[in-house]
Amino acid sequence: MMEFQALFEQYRDLITIAVYGTAIALIVIGLYAVLMKKHLVKIVIGLSIMDAGIHLLFVAIGYISGGTAPIFSPGNENAGARMVDPVPQALVLTAIVIGFAVTALALSLVIRLYKHHHTANIDQLNSLKW
Amino acid sequence: MVITPVHYIVAPLIAAFAIPLLIKIHKDAARIVPGIVLFYNVIVSLFLMNHIAEHGMISETLAGWQAPWGINLVVTPFTGFLATMVSILGFIIWLYGYRFKRTLKGGEVKYYEILQMMMIAGSIGIIITGDIFNMFVFIEIVGISAFSLTAFYRSRDGAEAGFKYLLIGGFASAFLLLGILIIYTQTGTLNMAQIAERMPDVPQQMKIVALIFFLVALGIEAEMFPLNGWAPDAYSQAPSPTSATFAAVVSVAGVYALIRVVFTMFDVEGVNNYLMVMGFVTMLIAEIAAISQKDLKRMLAYSSVGQVGLVLIAFGIGSNLAVFGALFLMLNHGVIKSLLFMAGSYFIYNTDDKKIKSLNGIYKKLPIVSFFFALGALAIIGFPPFSGFWSKFYILISAADEKYVFLIIGILLVTIIELTYYLRVVGRIYFAKQEGEPASHKPSINALVAMSSLALFIIVIGVYPDLIMPHIQSAADALLDKSNYIQQILSIKN
Amino acid sequence: MALLIFLIAMAVILIAAAIFSIMQKDLLFAVLGTGVVSLILSVFFYILQAPDVAITEAAIGIALTTIIFIITIRNTTRDENKYNDDHINKFKNEKDA
Amino acid sequence: MLKKLIVFLLIGTLGYTLAVTFSSIPIGANRIGSLDNPETVAAYYLDKSPNDLKVANTITAVVVNFRGFDTLGEVSVLFLAATGLASILYRKEEEEEEEENKRHISHRLNLPSSSLVQTGAKILFPLILLLGIYVFIHGHLTPGGGFQGGAIIATGFLLMLVSYKGFKNNHKIMVWLESLAGLGFVGVGLYGLIRYGSFLQNTGWTGNLNDLVSGGLIPLIYIFVGIKVATELTNVLDILLNIKSRRK
Amino acid sequence: MEIIAIILLILLVGSMLTFLIDSFSSKLTGITAFLFSLAASVVFFTQIPSGYQFKFQLAGLDLQWGLTDYSYYFAYIIFGMSVLALLYSIKYMEGKGRLGYFYGSFLLTILGMFGVVISQDFVSLFIFWEIMTWASFLLVIYNAYYKVKTKGVKYMIFSAIGAYAMLTAIVFIRVHYDTLLISEAIAKGAFNFEQYIYIPIFLLLGFSIKAAVMPFHVWAPSAYSKSPMSFTTIFSGAMSKMGVFGIGLVFTSIYLGTNPENFYWVRTILGWLGGITAVMGTIYALIQTDAKKLLAYSSVAQLGYIVVGLSTGTKLGIMAALYLTVIHAVFKGALFMVAGAVEKQAGTTDMTKISGLIRRMPWTFLVALVSIIALAGMPPVGGFVGKWLLYEALITESNNYILVVVVFFSSTAAFLYSYRFLYGLFLGQEEKDTKDVKEAPITMLIPMLILMIIAIVSGAVPGLIFEPAAKAMEAIGFQDVTWQMSSLTNLWGDTTNLGLISMLIGAVFVIVFVFITLKGYKNTKDVGTKDISTSGEIPKEWENLSFQQDFFQPFQRAAAPLYSMNMNKIWKNLGENLEAFFGFFRKLYTGNGQTYALYVVIFLVVLLLFKDVIFS
């Protein structure tokens, strides 16, 4: 991983663009799926892709040039100053688990809906309106 | 201090984890234990309110790390007031639902009661936490419980409403995360007091983008138009005690989150006007939509959204008096809308149909429930001498202080719309020609106790508002005194 | 340098996989696409010095999320353009036979 | 088509705004500040984790101790999701039995499983279980911890559930484990509250950095979290796999 | 405990008690309600002197209750009418359902009205005003809902518009003048139409809706005629006077300012509104076939006179208004009681269905006769005095001659419907199916007779009413109203001996009426009203051939353009269009989750795009 740190120093802008671009692209793609796709499963896929993009954004922001993973493994006990930000990682950890919970619940609702309305098209699920 | 704020969260969690075991010992445990826990929360509330009245605000450190470093739970007069209100209403709703859910099989009761209890506990968590990410976690707790409860009845279109709720709720959590992320990068902290302290140094552009993400995310929780598409569906499809909880507890927590973020964390100009305008639009559209509803619970749902709009208007005006009015209205809304949902639920239970037109002459079947419904309707419109009047009156006074003539006229015109549809329903209940069979489901004693306590509150506070006003006043002061909040939290040492 | 190319390639594949998974009409493959997204994402996390997150994403994103998606698809429809359950009946008939 | 255009415009604008916003938050910049006089939480955590808590993996320290309350909330989210899932997909037992009797076929999802797969699963299952347990026991030393370990264990159960038709979780044990793990977590928190006056507070005794037995109560909590997560996730999978989905 | 609170408590407890008693014995409810109202009146008249005040704090506001001579004057009307109406109700309501509900709401309404007159600050005024409104709403919808569904709600909507207009004014008075006390606000000139002109306008709107002034009168006829008659007595007699009370309390004071001519336009507008109300009310009353409806429109017209009187702003004019207030309550109360008695005994008040009740209900007829004379403003009964004062005020003091013509036209037209009412119900041929109608029970007759006597006495000795009215006028600032038992001094110092005029003209009319009555009583030939066998046509069963059909056909043709200008229709169209318009916005909730998600994103993007505009 030292290799990456060196690389990052060298191509900081490029890597920034690549990582941010990927994260924002994921958010946007997920959003597109949620807004345009008619199939419920696709919508849930969109939500989870959107979440993934946000998680990537979190981790990317926590990265510090030249930092190592925030683990004081043997031989690395006093490297606190050279470590990446642990807080966003901890938050993402929480967010991933919560995201999974939401996805699971969403899918169970999809299954229920399918049993109840016999359709997986969101446009046909409008018995409640106005 | 024997009782600390963390008891609010820990007691329901212990109960939730233990209920699957306890249910093996006694099959009614799932029903009773949440009641005990919620009652315990009421005791906690009263104890804490008493404590802060004597010793000032509490900022409890968790895991032994003091405020900016660890998560802290804050009980100020403001959060304490809301937490007390939510826990008392939560307990009353449990009391109401205790036998109502008797028809369900054992397993379902377990799920229902756990989710319901955790929804209330999560709402209290949103209110008392002092940490923005912790607030996110609690919002998710409330959200997950709410999605599941919305889809609880399989005979209704609950799953559809639940899915919509979840979809919009998913957006809310995504945007909330983005907002938290931006704020974290700029301030390097997650504690709301410290964020507020460091906010002046944040670049304006960043601040505003973060604020917008917060506004949208929490606007979804606070049912602000046009982010509230989920609300009528969810309210109308959920089991009735849950609908009452949505109105009395969850929306209060949502509004609290929005207000805490806007008033304490950020210091951006123009947000007050934003709240006022969006609150007005919310109220207007919701009440307009309510007027031609055919489904009773859906009508009540739109009415709830409208009330929240009025609360937002009052917060948007932003003066001490307006905040006072807003808090008073939140309290009234919680109480009155719970009563309406509870009474409405018995109508539905007796007619097997949620349509308003099937309420014709139900007065003869359910005289007491009808009386409560009529009382609630008059109170929520704001007729004196019921409690709803005072909150509306103070909001109007505060608007007048700021010379918002058109706002006042707008609010009152919307009230007339509100009055129209509520009185149509009341008229039907009492005076339409009755059809069909006599009552098959009389209200059970616990439901009556729950409803009468709410009705008593409405009347007593309506006649003698001084009983509650000092508490609300100190709550409003506490909310507006931002520097004191920051200072207190960051200076409390172990 | 090789790492840089690898990184860029990863980013491209990630976006491609995401687009694939929302464009693919066969939902099973779409779900597998999200699995790929999660996989590459965990590599990203690893590169960005977040091994904990990488492991979590690997365990939850790749394995568990994918499997619950697959279960859902088996319980609903597999073809994105077919919203009703014709094909499930077919599937069932095959199985019953 | 118009909708598509609007959506493209919307997400384009959103993406653009996000890009503009984040472009002024450069990756790699040190926002932590000095560790000696910490201004940010991150610096404080990096300072306290090895020195006070003696926990090598700072993330574990953050997740379990500094922000342990979040984790408690997160575990409850998972628990609530499992509960909600069960309530959504719940079926009355009689109904289920009746259907079972009528149809005589189990409709649980059967991915194609040959004996090869079954044998492989049988061999892999204990290994995966072991791996999971290892991951969460070493949560405070190496990357990984309760969530990761729990998820890995759940994957092992998933493997068994998928490859063996007749494989049934022992529900009783699962329920007990689930409840006790959750209660254990809360119990440890309450111990802190009663003993030291702060919920989830760690013990004074923390051992040495990088020892297996170090960090006070943190490994214990992570074990509870691991068991809890594993059981909840298995529960979720079990419910989903057991859907009798096909309509009549 | 303050004595004033005790009175309110008596009424409140009475209301609850009657509500509860209904479930044990529905017979007792009426008596209980009557006794409670009697108790309240007795306590009030014996224990509370004029000038009484009671200050306290509620909800952080300084509130003040008390009684001036002015409010005492209205309290007479309220308690007098309430006690009589409740006595009347005992028999009238017998056999109808939900008596507890009826009497409970009745007592609450009384409480509300009493509260309005004792309020000396705007907040309590508004609170009691609203209590009065919703309690009376409960009574308006008492009769089967499905018929009055729109009517009841219409009443409530108009009341609410009025009440909220008041509320708006109140909150602005508090802001601009920093007071909530009525007297202080007046002293600070809050109603001067000078600085914050919307305050008096909103307040006036609130009061005039309750007084059913054009164009907000549309709620009144249906609400009056659809509620139980014993309540309409109060409704039209006392409650609509609360609007008059308010206008008098708050607005007459502005005429006393240094230069009253400044507000000439206000007075003109108010006067014309009153005048138009009087004319329209009268014209609509003419074409009604239902006696209750006729009386209801007539009430609207009478309130128009009162408003005209108030608008003059002179001593005589206000005296006229106050006098008419009482006398209208008296004779209209009596007439509604008559209508109620007829309804109770004959089953309907439709004038095309019944006639010739004079032989069956002679006492009722007597009351109706005297009251109608009062209504038409003929001597010797009290109505005449009021009208005379009004004309005199208009002619001598405010020189508003066109208005005089308008009022005069409307009073003349009032003769027509008065005649129709009398003739339609009591005179004329007797219907076959009303043969066995009996006289009203004694407890219904007593209040009617009492009211009749008051009407006669007040005509003969108008000073009985002048005395409290003059005191009341002093309380609102009109000093030196000179009056004697039968005369009153006008602006120029001319003394009008009303008693004498009244007697003289009265003598003539009495003779005429006695003649008519005798003629009506004497039955010449027993032919049913629908018997037209002599004309050679064979009428169909459903054809209503009663002479009451198209009674004033020629007149109707003449006034056709006026009828087409139907305020009711305008309001109805407005309401329907509004609802359709609302329906459009409702469609925003399409029911599609994806659309909702789209809204969220659109909202987010709009905020992001305009972030610099919204958040500076």
Structure tokens at E177: 């003048």
Residue in chain A closest to E594 (alpha carbons) equals A35
Q: Which domain holds residue C66?
A: 27-96
The one-letter amino acid at E296: A
Give percent of chain E with pLDDT exceeding 70: 81
- Cβ-contact B136, B177 below 8 angstroms: yes
Residue in chain D closest to A117 (alpha carbons) equals D247
Cβ of A104 within 8 Å of Cβ of C38? The answer is: no
The predicted-structure confidence for B95-142, as pLDDT tens digits, reads as follows 888 766 555 555 577 888 888 899 999 999 999 988 899 999 999 999
In E, residues 537-596, which contact A (CB 8 Å cutoff)?
Answer: 586-587, 589-594
Claim to verify: residue E594 and residue E510 sit in the same structural domain: no
| Cα–Cα distance for residue pair E371/A65, rounded to 1 Å | 100
In order, the DSSP letters of B86-137 are HHHHHHHHHHHHHHHGGGS-HHHHHHHHHHHHHHHHHHHHHHHB-BHHHHHH
Judging contacts by C-beta atoms under 8 Å, the chain B residues touching residue D193 are 4, 6, 10
* Displacement of CA A119 from its chain's centroid (Å): 29
Q: Does D7 touch chain E (CB under 8 A)?
A: yes
Which class for C31: exposed (0-12), middle (13-18), buried (19 or more C-beta within 10 A)?
A: buried
Which DSSP category does D214 fall into?
A: -
Q: Which of B147, B157, B181 sits opposite A58 (nearest CB)?
A: B181
Q: What's the angle, vertex CA E343, arms to CA E337 and CA E344, rounded to 5?
A: 90
C50 inside domain: yes
- The tens-digit pLDDT sequence of chain D (248 residues) is 788 888 888 889 889 988 888 888 888 777 777 777 778 888 888 888 888 888 888 888 888 888 888 888 988 998 999 888 888 886 655 455 555 555 544 445 555 567 777 788 888 888 888 888 888 888 888 888 888 888 888 888 888 887 776 666 667 788 888 888 888 888 888 888 888 888 888 877 777 777 777 777 888 888 888 888 888 888 888 888 777 644 43
Residue in chain E closest to A129 (alpha carbons) equals E591
Which class for E592: exposed (0-12), middle (13-18), buried (19 or more C-beta within 10 A)?
A: middle
CATH T-level assignment (fold) for domain A2-123:
Helix Hairpins (1.10.287)
Buried b (16+ CB within 10 A) or exposed e, B235-269: bbbbbbbbbbbbbbbbbbbbbbbbbbbbbbbbebe
Which class for B154: exposed (0-12), middle (13-18), buried (19 or more C-beta within 10 A)?
A: middle
Best CA proximity match to B145, nearest among B172, B106, B118: B118
Name the domain count of chain E.
2
Chains C and B touch each other (3 or more Cβ pairs < 8 A): no
* Mean pLDDT, residues A24-28 taken together: 91
Which DSSP category does C78 fall into?
A: S
What was the ipTM of the complex prediction? 0.92
Cβ of B230 within 8 Å of Cβ of E596? The answer is: yes
Instruction: Name the minimum distance, in Å, from the CA of A88 to any CA of chain B.
Output: 8
| Cα–Cα distance for residue pair C43/C53, rounded to 1 Å | 10
Across chain A, which distance is largest between two alpha carbons, in Å? 65
- Cβ-contact D234, A102 below 8 angstroms: no
At residue B141, the pLDDT reads: 92
Judging contacts by C-beta atoms under 8 Å, the chain C residues touching residue D162 are 67
Which among B298, B383, B467 is the top mutation candidate for probing chain E, defined by the most E β-carbons within 10 Å of its own β-carbon? B383
In D, residues 187-226, which contact A (CB 8 Å cutoff)?
Answer: 209-210
* Mean pLDDT, residues B286-305 taken together: 87
| Residue E464: pLDDT band with limits 50, 70, 90 | confident
Judging contacts by C-beta atoms under 8 Å, the chain C residues touching residue A48 are 34, 65
E256 inside domain: no
Cβ of E605 within 8 Å of Cβ of D7? The answer is: no
Average pLDDT, chain D: 80
Which among C67, C87, C94 is the top mutation candidate for probing chain D, defined by the most D β-carbons within 10 Å of its own β-carbon? C67
Claim to verify: residue E512 and residue E575 sit in the same structural domain: no
Which DSSP category does B188 fall into?
A: S
Name residues whose C-beta falls within 8 Å of residue B249's C-beta, 6 or more positions apart in sequence. Answer: B86, B89, B90, B93, B119, B120, B123, B334
Q: Which long-range contacts (CB under 8 A, 24 or more apart) does D188-192 make?
A: D188/D217, D188/D220, D188/D221, D188/D224, D189/B10, D189/D68, D189/D72, D190/B10, D191/D217, D192/B63, D192/B64, D192/D217
At residue D209, the pLDDT reads: 75
CA torsion angle B450 B453 B459 B464 (round to 10)? -150
Q: Which of D31, D44, D73 sits opposite B141 (nearest CB)?
A: D73
The one-letter amino acid at B168: I
Higher pLDDT, E563 or B305: B305
Which among C15, C28, C62, C75 is the top mutation candidate for probing chain D, defined by the most D β-carbons within 10 Å of its own β-carbon? C75
Q: Which domain holds residue E593?
A: 568-614
C18 inside domain: no
| Cα–Cα distance for residue pair E310/E322, rounded to 1 Å | 8
The predicted-structure confidence for E288-328, as pLDDT tens digits, reads as follows 778 888 888 888 888 888 888 888 777 778 888 888 888 88
Cβ of A112 within 8 Å of Cβ of D89? The answer is: yes
The predicted-structure confidence for B163-213, as pLDDT tens digits, reads as follows 889 999 999 999 999 999 999 988 888 888 888 888 888 888 888 889 999
Name the domain count of chain C.
1
E56 inside domain: no
In D, residues 154-173, which contact B (CB 8 Å cutoff)?
Answer: none
Chains E and A touch each other (3 or more Cβ pairs < 8 A): yes
Q: Does A120 touch chain E (CB under 8 A)?
A: no
Size of interface B-E (CB pairs under 8 A): 171
Torsion sign across C-alpha atoms E21, E27, E31, E33: positive
E469, E500, E523 - which closes a domain: E523
Q: What's the angle, vertex CA D201, arms to CA D196 and CA D205, rounded to 5?
A: 80
Structure tokens at B297: 């619970």
At residue E405, the pLDDT reads: 83
The one-letter amino acid at E470: A
Beta bridge partners of B61: B72
Claim to verify: residue E509 and residue E572 sit in the same structural domain: no
| Residue B42: pLDDT band with limits 50, 70, 90 | very high
Tell me the domain boundaries of chain A: 2-123
The predicted-structure confidence for D81-122, as pLDDT tens digits, reads as follows 988 888 888 665 545 555 555 554 444 555 556 777 778 888
| Cα–Cα distance for residue pair A103/A85, rounded to 1 Å | 28
